Amino acid sequence: MITKSVADYLINSSPANHSNTILYVESFLQRNIMRALYFSILAMFYSLAGRIAFFKRQTLEAEKRQLIIEKEKAELENQLTKSRNAYLQQQINPHMLFNALNFVYNSAQKYSDDAANCIWLLSEIMRFSLEEAGSDGKIKLDREVEQIENLVAINRYRFKEPLYLKLEMHGDFSRYKIIPLILLTLTENLFKHGNLTEVTSPAVLKLTTNETGQLTFYSRNLKKSKNGHPRQRKALGLQNIRLRMDSFYKGNYKLEINEPGEFYELTLTLKL
């Protein structure tokens, strides 16, 4: 409108034409200003929408790259876990080991039923520890529970003094699967680092599963005398358990440890 007004003013020298030009500009001025504002606002929103879409695409691409990295990391950790398990399983020839244990069992049976039973229980635990897990890295929960019972039986044979342990197991263990040797290791720590000889303060071991697939492992025992090394080994064992649990059950388990007075308590809750 300004350009047209200037051109009309320069081309038409007549005052009447100048008045017409002014009237023309004034009559269309409001309409053209509104039109200009409309397109300016529309352009501003279009530009803003483009910038938002650009940053959104960048965010989605970054999230996609992060998911790919996490997936690759999880696959590498899974392969590493399988490699470690395979390495441990190949350290000893299972056939040679069990043939030797069978010979020792038959020889010991002639002199002591208790010793023979201990050898048989030990061979069952070792057979279980060398079993290959499924493609998901897990075994049946009831198989691990069997080895807990075998380990308890072995330790009752080992010591001359009676062991005071309340063992409670509730639930349908055949329905679920778990990564091997977690519960067995926690049970072993109970005998290795706990005092189970006090009749007034018996140790407690409870293992339960419910209908939703939640497993709870609870142990409570008197502490043994402090000597440094057992505590260090216990911490290392629990650290290894946490590493394995993080690999398979990250966000779906809780391992709590309490030391009220002379007692040591451990509670593992796990969504199978």
How many Cβ atoms are within 10 Å of 166's Cβ, its own excluded? 10
Task: State the number of CA atoms in the 13 A half-sphere of 8 facing the CB.
Answer: 16
Could you tell me if 227 and 264 lie in one domain?
Answer: yes
Tens of pLDDT, residue by residue over 236-249, are: 778 888 888 888 89
Cβ 204 vs Cβ 162: under 8 Å: no
Residue 47 predicted with pLDDT over 80: yes
One-letter amino acid of 108: A
Could you tell me if 123 and 174 lie in one domain?
Answer: no
Tens of pLDDT, residue by residue over 93-138, are: 666 777 787 888 888 888 888 888 888 888 888 888 877 788 888 9
Cβ 244 vs Cβ 179: under 8 Å: yes
Q: Per the structure block, which two tokens stand in for 58?
A: 């960048």
81 versus 261: the higher-pLDDT residue is: 261
End of a domain among 130, 147, 181? 130
CA 67 vs CA 73, 76, 182, 243, 271: distances in Å: 10, 14, 29, 21, 24
Residue range of the domain that includes 32: 2-87
Question: What sections of the chain are H helices per DSSP?
Answer: 2-11, 15-89, 94-109, 113-130, 141-158, 182-193, 229-249
Could you tell me if 144 and 237 lie in one domain?
Answer: yes
Q: How far apart are the first and last CA of the chain?
A: 77
Could you tell me if 104 and 146 lie in one domain?
Answer: no
Could you tell me if 10 and 83 lie in one domain?
Answer: yes
Local confidence band at 25 (pLDDT 50, 70, 90 cut-offs) = low
Number of domains in the chain: 3
Local confidence band at 228 (pLDDT 50, 70, 90 cut-offs) = very low
Residue 18 predicted with pLDDT over 70: no
Could you tell me if 98 and 82 lie in one domain?
Answer: no
